[in-house]
């Protein structure tokens, strides 16, 4: 008998940290700087950005950027844009050597450009990212800079810190960004916060952030991003909350309907004991062509079997064996044969058990085949197969095979052989009582047969 075990994958969920394109954000830094932003409101040159002008908060009074400084920054940018990285850096280094002569806004813009160029100057060892972080950190260290520049730089620093796996540093920058920002946090910010906490194994904090991001999205009748839901599901899994994992899996199926999400949802229903839903979802997955892996097919077959549909289980396994999706092995063939016999299709179980017996080193599959043949009243085949089982040895229940042989011999009217088989079976404790009953019955029949022969002889002799 196959143990009742539903095949399913352990819920392995791989989460990639969500690092948004730093290049895009760094370009935003340039736009927010006022240098390239034609929508900026100019006060003494470059003092208040359009983003700040629209803010409800009191705008900051920033120092003016002088034309000479602007020209040097523009020159460095053009060189960098033309691929002349080192020349652009040299211009900025010369400007940095006169940092004491620059006001806070000019310093911030100089460091902003340095950070941007370092980031774009990719190095095999990734050291350019550290240089970019160092430069951008100097931007937000300056006083009285445009709030929009500070906001965008803090967010970029949080992302770059994530990229370099400095998760607490990322959270620190993100905390400063939150305090400075007006209004509701964006989904991207909440996801960044969730990812940083996830990486530090602060699962509850991560869950609060990602849940808020998803809830805000759904309140606006927007579909939550797929990776947000995947992260939330992973967090519930880490917190050992299978019902919540199941709920998120339902959303993944509803919103994105990918094959793996269907199968994972079915497995989660099994995890929380909802076997009827597990079967319904797994069957729907199979009908859509999503169930293709060996373990999932075995899971569906067992769900059919234990839900009272052994014929469906047998049909499924037979079809997949024929296609080569599932390979012939003793365990699979044993379960297939068991499904056929449970569906009262014993004849279909015979070739399956023959194949299983060929693959098995011990005689247990031969013994099971003998039992099925007994039910089909193929007496001589029972004896042949039973002898093969005993010859192989390693039987779990050797008494059963002797009982089967005894019954087969009895039906073939070979009573002496039947008595011998039942006497052998009587030595096994598990079948001792049944073997003794059969033995008494056969011995009575043998005496009757012997008496009849004696009477016939006597009548012939007179």
The CA-to-CA distance between both ends of the chain, in Å, stands at 59
pLDDT of residue 5: 33
Q: What is the pLDDT of residues 397-436, one digit of tens each?
A: 999 999 999 999 999 999 999 999 999 999 999 999 999 9
Please tell me what DSSP assigns to residue 115: H
Cα 37 from chain centre: 45
Whose CA is closest to 229, among 216, 245, 243?
245
Q: What is the pLDDT of residues 174-194, one digit of tens each?
A: 999 999 988 788 999 999 999
> Which pLDDT band holds residue 361 (cuts at 50, 70, 90)?
very high
Whose CA is closest to 162, among 195, 138, 130?
195
Over the chain, what is the mean pLDDT?
87
Residue 48's DSSP bridge partners are 41
For the residues 257-285, what does the mean pLDDT come to? 96
Task: Count each helix (H run) and each strand (E run) in the chain, helices first.
Answer: 23, 0
For the residues 377-403, what does the mean pLDDT come to? 96
Q: What is the pLDDT of residues 12-68, one digit of tens each?
A: 322 232 223 333 334 343 333 333 332 333 322 333 333 334 445 556 788 899 999
Task: Looking at 200-309, list the stretches that DSSP marks H as alpha helix, in order from N- to C-terminal side.
Answer: 203-219, 226-238, 242-255, 259-271, 275-287, 294-306
> By CB neighbour count within 10 A (0-12 exposed, 13-18 middle, 19+ buried), where does 185 fall?
middle
- Flag whether pLDDT at 460 surpasses 90: no
* Full set of structural domains in the chain with CATH: 18-181 (1.25.40)
- Give CA–CA dist 153/300, Å, rounded: 52
Q: What is the pLDDT of residues 70-80, one digit of tens each?
A: 999 999 999 98
- Flag whether pLDDT at 141 surpasses 90: yes
- Flag whether pLDDT at 130 surpasses 80: yes
pTM above 0.85, yes or no: no
Cα Rg, the chain, nearest whole Å? 39
> Which pLDDT band holds residue 153 (cuts at 50, 70, 90)?
very high
């Amino acid at each position: 008998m196959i143990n009742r075990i539903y095949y399913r994958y352990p819920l392995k969920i791989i989460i990639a940290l969500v690092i948004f394109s730093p290049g895009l954000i760094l370009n935003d830094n340039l736009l927010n700087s006022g240098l390239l932003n034609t929508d900026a409101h100019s006060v003494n040159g470059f003092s208040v950005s359009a983003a700040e002008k629209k803010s409800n908060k009191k705008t900051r009074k920033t120092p003016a950027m002088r034309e000479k400084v602007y020209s040097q920054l523009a020159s460095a940018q053009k060189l960098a844009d033309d691929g002349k990285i080192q020349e652009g850096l040299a211009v900025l280094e010369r400007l940095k050597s006169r940092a004491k002569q620059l006001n806070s806004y000019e310093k911030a813009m100089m460091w902003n450009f340095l950070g941007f160029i370092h980031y774009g100057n990719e190095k095999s060892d990734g050291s350019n990212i550290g240089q970019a972080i160092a430069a951008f950190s100097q931007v937000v260290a300056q006083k009285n800079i445009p709030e929009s520049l500070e906001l965008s730089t803090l967010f970029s620093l949080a992302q770059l810190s994530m990229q370099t796996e400095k998760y607490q540093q990322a959270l620190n920058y993100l905390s400063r960004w939150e305090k400075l920002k007006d209004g509701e946090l964006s989904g991207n910010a909440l996801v960044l916060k969730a990812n940083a906490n996830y990486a530090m194994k602060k699962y509850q904090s991560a869950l609060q952030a990602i849940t808020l991001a998803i809830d805000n999205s759904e309140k606006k009748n927007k579909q939550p991003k797929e990776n947000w839901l995947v992260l939330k599901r992973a967090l519930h899994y880490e917190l050992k909350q299978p019902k919540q994992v199941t709920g998120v899996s339902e959303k993944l199926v509803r919103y994105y309907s990918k094959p793996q999400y269907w199968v994972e949802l079915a497995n989660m229903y099994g995890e929380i004991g909802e076997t009827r839903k597990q079967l319904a979802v797994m069957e729907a997955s199979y009908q859509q062509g999503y169930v293709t892996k060996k373990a999932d097919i075995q899971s569906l077959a067992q769900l059919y079997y234990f839900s009272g549909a052994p014929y469906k289980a047998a049909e499924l396994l037979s079809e997949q064996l024929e296609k080569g999706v599932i390979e012939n092995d003793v365990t699979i063939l044993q379960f297939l044969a068991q499904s056929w016999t449970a569906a009262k299709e014993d004849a279909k179980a015979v070739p399956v058990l023959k194949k299983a017996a060929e693959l098995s080193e011990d005689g247990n599959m031969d013994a099971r085949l003998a039992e099925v043949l007994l039910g089909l009243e193929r007496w001589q085949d029972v004896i042949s197969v039973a002898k093969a089982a005993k010859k192989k040895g390693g039987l779990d229940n050797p008494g059963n095979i002797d009982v089967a042989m005894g019954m087969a011999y009895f039906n073939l009217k070979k009573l002496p052989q039947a008595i011998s088989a039942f006497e052998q079976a009587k030595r096994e404790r598990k079948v001792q009582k049944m073997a003794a009953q059969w033995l008494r019955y056969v011995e009575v029949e043998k005496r009757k047969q012997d008496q009849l022969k004696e009477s016939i002889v006597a009548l012939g002799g007179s």
